[in-house]
Amino acid sequence: MLETLEEGGREYGAELVRSLEAFIECNGQWERAARELFCHRHTLRYRIREDLFPELERRNCRFSTELDALR
């Protein structure tokens, strides 16, 4: 899935992947990841929750998302 985003499957694919990477590297801390990306935390939340993984709110989804990102 991440390769599809990076290859331009979506208009802002590279930015979405970069947002997800920052979120994971910051251990799911919205504010810290947003600071690293120079964006507002609500912008980051929207990118990840609405654009990438609307089901991220589910308990086990974050873990599987992290595993996919590491592959």
- Asked whether the predicted pLDDT for residue 52 surpasses 80, the reply is no
Query: Measured between alpha carbons, how far is residue 37 from residues 32, 34, 64 in Å?
Result: 9, 5, 23
Q: What pLDDT, on a 0 to 100 scale, did the predictor assign at position 57?
A: 54
How many Cβ atoms sit within 10 Å of the Cβ of residue 16? 19
Give the model confidence (pLDDT) of 9-49 as tens digits: 456 778 888 998 999 999 999 999 999 999 999 999 988 88
Mean pLDDT calculated for residue range 42-57: 76
Q: What pLDDT, on a 0 to 100 scale, did the predictor assign at position 33?
A: 97
This prediction has a pTM of 0.64
